[in-house]
Structure 1
Amino acid sequence: MYPAHIRKEISCDGKVTYSFQSVAEHCRNTAKYASEALKAVGLEKTAYLAGLLHDCGKHTFGFKQYLEDAVINEKEVKRGSVNHTFAGVKLILAKHAKYGGTNDLQDLTIELIAYAIGAHHGLFDCIKDKDESAFAYRLEKENIDSEEAIENFYNECASEDEIEKLLLEATAEIKNLADIIVSIDRTEHDEEHEIPFYYSLVCRLLTSAVIDADRKDTMEFEKNEVTKQVSLDWSKALENFNSYIENFKTERDIDLARKEISAACAVAAQKPEGVYRLNVPTGGGKTLSSLRYALEHAKKYHKKRLFFVMPLLSIIEQNAQEIRKAVQDDSIILEHHSNVIDDENSDVEELNKRELLIQSWDNPIVITTLVQLLNTMFLGKTSSVRRFAALCNSVIVFDEVQSLPNTMLTLFNLTINFLVKKCHATVILCSATQPSFENAEHKLLSEVSDLTTLPSETLKVFERVELVDKDSMGMEELSDFALGIIRSKKSLLVVCNTKREAKELFDSLQAEVSSVIPMYHLSASMCTKHRKMIVESMKSDLSLPDPKQIVCVATQVIEAGVDISFNCVIRLQAGMDSIVQAAGRCNRNGENKLESVYIVNLLGEKLHRLKEIETAKSATESLLLAAKTEKQ
């Protein structure tokens, strides 16, 4: 027997024994898990074949000796010194010769599978410098005993007839996939086609399935236990959600408007898979409305997972807590971001389980950051690639999607098109200030539509502020202007473009009013716990029957996803989307009829290192000038 893994076990009396997993068993298990991962997207046989061949190269005496030396003989061996990855690549690429290059789909299928096998321990470019084939380069490397491995693979694991049959079935799947890719490529003849990029995503998808299946089976053998799947009961989660929102107050007009938006999202959840916008004003209850949509849609269309993707940790801190309260079942929720700190007293088994879920995203509800999601889509690390297949057959909710960098629009759009059209994902783009996806070089699917269109009467409820252009001011003048507002308003929020501006203005105002009025400062340079404490303290001050008079000077960290309401806001000039988001922190619940949001162009502002903010600010300046000219 050729071993894929060896497990050392020590009994209570100190006796040492060894358990062996054969390469054949490991390859079959990996093939099964990989095929299960991609069954819903029509790549079951393709994934099975890639998984079956991925460790073909371990069928050699050299690898057996290497493994026994490392585990049984406890010798120091160089990790990776016996190349086992590319024997399977050589086996499948040899099929090229059989078909003589006369079947393009067969060749495409072979190369997609070859890449998934070759990349399961590390990605590589298919084309090297000077247009050389990276496949050929790796196959010519020394220490690849491919002939011995392939012969033993056919004898021990799978017959050549089985491989041929699986390859024909895989080719039929790739034919269906190719038809879909051609149908969603909307480029003209003289433009760069989107098709190659879509095939790169197919490579990533297959590689993801193989990596996760390989790591999963390896871990199960090493721990000597089968991973338990968390049961999916969307009906129960939905029942918990409905009982949670039943107790919401409906005393104010804005409460009724939020209820109307939530109900509309529940109805829209019956629509088929696709890309949708949830475009409602700030303070419209997007978090719970999108959660309601996701749960209803998952139940109707048997979705495997829900993803809630947020751009800022400050948003996750608040929204994750709200989602947990609504779902009322922590066992089905995974938070994956840098602010999750495991309790020192946590059970080791629980910590290991959480680590596995982070690696695979194999949980019903995943709350993560935009950075982690973009890494999963595009980063060249196997740890990121591994999670890509988890996006299949899911609902992906992008909260505050306006935070997506403009430079990422094309890559983002094409990947979303692929996930929706090929991988049965449904995508929701949530924001009060939607990006211009239609203006990207490569666009989102043309059938993007709104989950709900609010009637004019409902929209009027959200008319809580007026934007006032205060032209240009220096820092000293801005400080005096803010002091004037403080004397007449209960609460004031000032949002700056840089940490330096915020600190300078905070110090200036603090010197004047801190003895009589609580002063708060927020910026991304603060640790999460500190920032959270400040937000909670401000909320407490502002929620009293007779709210305290407070002042907060902050950076953009307070702009999106923070449920807090000030009487007045000053926003230093930036992109209009940022100004609207800042306005969402003013009179948020319609406490007063109408409040002011002042736009100030800070003189001498240094934004040369913040090009996106600088460009957006320039656009707003032009817009305000045009509005002023029109009035005149």
Structure 2
Amino acid sequence: MDFFSHIQMDNKKIVYKKLLRDHMLEVAKNIKLNTQTIFKDEIWSKAGFIVGATHDFGKYTTYFQDYLITGKSKSNLHWHSFVSAVFGAYITIIHTKVTDNPLYDYLPLIAYFAILHHHGNLSSFDNDVVEMQKLSSYNFELVDSRMREKLQLMEPQLENILIHRETIEAEYQDILGNINLLDFKGNWISVLKELHRQKYKLQKENEDIKLKLNTFFLFIYSSLIDNDKRDAAEVRKIKRKHIPEDIVDYYRKEEFNIYETHGIDGVRNDIYQKVSKKISEISLDNHVFTLTAPTGTGKTITAFSAAVKLRERLKLYYDEEPRIIYALPFTSIIDQNFSVIEKILENIPDFQSDKNAYIIKHHHLSDVGYQVENETRPLDESMLLVESWDSEIVVTTFIQLFYTIIGYKNRFLKKYHNIANSIILLDEVQNIPMEYWPLVNIMLQNLAKELNCYIILLTATKPFIFNESEAIELLENNQEYFDKFNRVVIKPHLEEIGVEQLAQKFCEVYNQENSYLIVLNTINSSVEFYNYIISKVKSKGNKIFYLSTNIIPKERIKRITDIKNCLENHEKIVVVSTQVVEAGVDIDLDVVLRDLGPIDSIIQVAGRCNRGWDANKCGKVYVFNLKDDIHYSSKIYGSISCKASANLLEKNILQEREFYHLIADYFDSVKLMRGIQQESDESQKILNAIYDFRFCDDLGMYDSVSDFKLIQDNNYVDVFVQVDKDAVGIWNRFDKEILHEKNFKKRQENYLKLKKEFKSYVVSVPEKFANEFVRPSKNSSIFLLPYGNLKDYYDKNTGFNRNLETIFIAM
């Protein structure tokens, strides 16, 4: 009998099939190669090979083979992950009996856990490793119900496998050598008892061993799920590409006056040269760097050039070119940074034909198309290549990066192994919540130590994530650049004021000869302010723009482009926004009004004022203290951060040259007010979960890795807004081609085709408002705001109407 790992049916005919032994062997070889490349350890590489060679062992049942063809099963005997996981642990025990390294003792436990979850998200050792005494109970009655069923299926599954014992053992002969399925059937409970013993022993190990083992586990797990999916889909391999180390130098020579020594261009040239020199001389024993420079001084291009030059040095040293991962806090600023890097790469001769082999953009709104060798790969293949970061340069979000480094979900973790040997650029890293800074410090240093990553933190407001002994500053004497700038001044007005009062004051002093940026902390306050001033601005003949996550992404992107075009044409405009403009949005206005917030956020938004350093003027940033029932700033940032900011700003007019010390004073003040212990506690909870392999706890009994959240959702839901006829058409396609498509593969392909357009009409709104909207199905995670109801719930200027109580009452 032939056993298959994957079969595709079309009109009840087999159109594709993959032999099980071939699939497992291919996956095993790739995991072993990945593991040996990074860890240089024969035993760990052997363990990786075993994981690949056993991960689908349970597919040797006729129950699963019948399920492959029919898609139906009368029982759960076709389940294959648990029996495969126990078999993987059994083989690992036999093949990795080495005593000279304590880490080797836990390889069976690692193999078991990786295989058990290779089709889903990670759980925890607490849930998945059965206690010895419970294994001895009659019919496993003391075991949790979810695990009990898996245990009860083992005997009939193994009886079924033994029917074809000779065939299976012969197939494994070429992969693992001699195996004895009768012995496995007789000892599988003993294997589970050994796993419990290993779990208990691991709990007593020190944190260094636990973290090292966790890193190895995630690498093996990631390599397994990525290679499993690639081999099943027959994804063709992508050839690595070389990027010339002087590619940015050439670009700058073509685009800029690189000999300018004065003004903002002179500063940018000086910083570029100094950082280039530093990165070319620094010892490769150093793995963590910072690049701290004022806003608008060309950090994106300078940092990318440093990464490319470092990449060339590492190639000569390790004989392998590392990937460059460029992570930013918000999707709203990815496009402009991606465009800059893309333009730099256009000087490479084969870039247009092999574009995505060189660079990809990965976030929830990005395309999944992958172009290489003048061909756009099929959508399912493209998705696997993009989501596993199979490219020389990856431009992505903090969400994608940190939910992989500190994550539990299958779809995030399948790229973990491709982070190894990479250069990671973290732009505006201070946007990570402060309570996670100790955690981020440890996890980034762990990447550097265990996976040979090199990390560069880019910021204008140097956060205290790494101290001076832990990171090398690439721009020496950077304070002199802060000292020489006089582009902007901060003028605090911290007496409490309401939104309407502030809007009135703005209207009184508004001068159409200036451009203005108003940044408020909440969507409600920003909409209220916008509605109050719109007639005043338009009466002067100027344009006014509203920006926040309250408007659909499609419109938000368009407005950022329109704003830039107006400014390039020297039009005087008004922009009312939330914090979406703080980091990285390259716009330059004359006057900024900002609601009170953390000092680093205030300085970030100040970077949108007189950004080009017009020597004939000084930009002004006014900081106000808005309040209704409580301060708007406290709603978003908490009282401690804002109180620290208020204390530092009170009665002080601050020049830009003072920002460097102001930032340091702010972080010191917050630490003192919060208490170092509170900050450490939040990080320590996640670290303890990492040490104890508690990735997710469905019952909520323990702290787990899944508790790590860069963005608090606060009971928000996604709503598709039919703002125009195009949106109506897209929703109709979604309904027909996805919601009502029964074939899973076609449904997936249809979604990938539609994803970017579909997501561009989605906003997140408080769940309390969504009850009035259409829910396509009982379990749907997306709601619909139909075109016919648009005027009641969505404003074309300010987006979703969050003042709906009156509407609900009227209805």
- Cα distance change of structure 1 residues 487 and 65 upon mapping to structure 2, 3 Å threshold: closer
CA contact (8 A) 2:83 2:154 kept: no
Aligned to 1:337: 363
Find 1:255's aligned residue among 241, 256, 265. 265
Deviation at residue 21 of structure 1 after TM alignment: 3.5
CA contact (8 A) 1:27 1:53 kept: no
Deviation at residue 356 of structure 1 after TM alignment: 1.5
Aligned to 1:33: 30
CA contact (8 A) 2:517 2:575 kept: yes
Aligned to 2:243: 234
**Secondary structure of the residue that 2:225 maps to in structure 1?**
helix
Alignment of 1:448-459 (within 5 A): 448-454=471-477, 458-459=481-482
1:514 and 2:532 aligned: no
Find 2:330's aligned residue among 295, 308, 312. 312
Q: What is the aligned-residue identity percentage?
A: 25
Deviation at residue 533 of structure 1 after TM alignment: 2.4
Alpha-carbon distance in 1 for matches of 2:176, 2:230: 28
1:4 and 2:19 aligned: no
Aligned to 1:300: 313
Alignment of 1:57-72 (within 5 A): 63-64=61-62, 66-68=64-66, 70-71=68-69
Deviation at residue 57 of structure 1 after TM alignment: 7.0
- Cα distance change of structure 1 residues 364 and 558 upon mapping to structure 2, 3 Å threshold: same
Deviation at residue 113 of structure 1 after TM alignment: 2.7
Aligned to 1:421: 449
- Cα distance change of structure 1 residues 293 and 606 upon mapping to structure 2, 3 Å threshold: same
Deviation at residue 403 of structure 1 after TM alignment: 1.0
- Cα distance change of structure 1 residues 350 and 263 upon mapping to structure 2, 3 Å threshold: farther
Deviation at residue 468 of structure 1 after TM alignment: 1.3
| Aligned amino acid, residue 543 of structure 1 | E
Deviation at residue 83 of structure 1 after TM alignment: 3.3
Q: Which moved more, 1:606-615 or 1:329-338?
A: 606-615
Alpha-carbon distance in 1 for matches of 2:158, 2:289: 49
Q: Which moved more, 1:114-123 or 1:604-613?
A: 604-613
| Aligned amino acid, residue 261 of structure 1 | I
- Cα distance change of structure 1 residues 239 and 380 upon mapping to structure 2, 3 Å threshold: same
CA contact (8 A) 1:607 1:613 kept: no
| Aligned amino acid, residue 338 of structure 1 | H
| Aligned amino acid, residue 603 of structure 2 | V
Deviation at residue 606 of structure 1 after TM alignment: 4.4
Aligned to 1:184: none
Alpha-carbon distance in 1 for matches of 2:56, 2:493: 71
Q: 1:453-497: CA deviations, max 9, x gaps?
A: 245654444331111112223334422432354328521111111
CA contact (8 A) 2:53 2:175 kept: no
Aligned to 1:223: none
CA contact (8 A) 1:489 1:568 kept: no
| Aligned amino acid, residue 344 of structure 2 | A
- Cα distance change of structure 1 residues 140 and 151 upon mapping to structure 2, 3 Å threshold: farther
Alignment of 1:328-477 (within 5 A): 328=346, 329=351, 330-331=355-356, 332-341=358-367, 349-438=377-466, 446-454=469-477, 458-472=481-495, 473-477=497-501
Alpha-carbon distance in 2 for matches of 1:197, 1:214: 25
Deviation at residue 589 of structure 1 after TM alignment: 0.8
**Secondary structure of the residue that 2:475 maps to in structure 1?**
coil
Q: 1:403-456: CA deviations, max 9, x gaps?
A: 112233233222211211010111111111122215xxxxx8942121112456
Deviation at residue 255 of structure 1 after TM alignment: 0.6
Aligned to 2:625: 601
- Cα distance change of structure 1 residues 67 and 452 upon mapping to structure 2, 3 Å threshold: same
1:496 and 2:520 aligned: yes
**Secondary structure of the residue that 1:471 maps to in structure 2?**
strand
Find 2:231's aligned residue among 193, 201, 217. 217
CA contact (8 A) 1:83 1:143 kept: no
Q: Which moved more, 1:613-622 or 1:78-87?
A: 78-87
1:200 and 2:214 aligned: yes
Find 2:153's aligned residue among 127, 131, 142. 142
- Cα distance change of structure 1 residues 470 and 124 upon mapping to structure 2, 3 Å threshold: closer
Aligned to 1:325: 343
| Aligned amino acid, residue 142 of structure 1 | L
Aligned to 2:279: 269
Number of aligned pairs?
583
Alpha-carbon distance in 1 for matches of 2:446, 2:86: 29
Deviation at residue 532 of structure 1 after TM alignment: 2.4
- Cα distance change of structure 1 residues 192 and 110 upon mapping to structure 2, 3 Å threshold: closer
Q: 1:225-284: CA deviations, max 9, x gaps?
A: x6131432122xx45433221121355511111122222232233332511111111111
Deviation at residue 58 of structure 1 after TM alignment: 5.0
Alpha-carbon distance in 1 for matches of 2:411, 2:26: 20
| Aligned amino acid, residue 281 of structure 1 | P
CA contact (8 A) 1:36 1:44 kept: no
**Secondary structure of the residue that 1:232 maps to in structure 2?**
coil
Deviation at residue 607 of structure 1 after TM alignment: 3.8
CA contact (8 A) 1:571 1:599 kept: yes
Deviation at residue 146 of structure 1 after TM alignment: 4.8
Deviation at residue 618 of structure 1 after TM alignment: 1.6
| Aligned amino acid, residue 622 of structure 2 | Y
- Cα distance change of structure 1 residues 54 and 34 upon mapping to structure 2, 3 Å threshold: closer
Alignment of 1:532-611 (within 5 A): 532-544=557-569, 547-591=570-614, 592-604=616-628, 605-607=630-632, 610-611=635-636
Alpha-carbon distance in 2 for matches of 1:552, 1:48: 59
| Aligned amino acid, residue 303 of structure 2 | S
- Cα distance change of structure 1 residues 202 and 609 upon mapping to structure 2, 3 Å threshold: farther
CA contact (8 A) 2:590 2:610 kept: yes
CA contact (8 A) 2:172 2:178 kept: no
Q: TM-score, normalised by structure 1?
A: 0.82
Q: Which moved more, 1:422-431 or 1:471-480?
A: 471-480
Alpha-carbon distance in 2 for matches of 1:198, 1:103: 13
CA contact (8 A) 1:92 1:114 kept: yes
CA contact (8 A) 2:324 2:422 kept: yes
Deviation at residue 319 of structure 1 after TM alignment: 1.1
CA contact (8 A) 1:395 1:427 kept: yes
Find 1:288's aligned residue among 272, 291, 301. 301
**Secondary structure of the residue that 2:126 maps to in structure 1?**
coil
CA contact (8 A) 2:422 2:453 kept: yes
Aligned to 2:48: 50
- Cα distance change of structure 1 residues 387 and 519 upon mapping to structure 2, 3 Å threshold: same
Alpha-carbon distance in 2 for matches of 1:363, 1:142: 42
- Cα distance change of structure 1 residues 53 and 35 upon mapping to structure 2, 3 Å threshold: closer
Aligned to 1:173: none
CA contact (8 A) 1:198 1:414 kept: no
CA contact (8 A) 1:57 1:86 kept: no
Alpha-carbon distance in 1 for matches of 2:213, 2:609: 47
Q: Which moved more, 1:556-565 or 1:268-277?
A: 268-277
1:278 and 2:285 aligned: no
- Cα distance change of structure 1 residues 342 and 276 upon mapping to structure 2, 3 Å threshold: closer
Aligned to 1:167: none
CA contact (8 A) 1:334 1:357 kept: no
Alpha-carbon distance in 1 for matches of 2:56, 2:368: 37
- Cα distance change of structure 1 residues 449 and 536 upon mapping to structure 2, 3 Å threshold: same
Aligned to 2:19: 22
**Secondary structure of the residue that 2:399 maps to in structure 1?**
helix
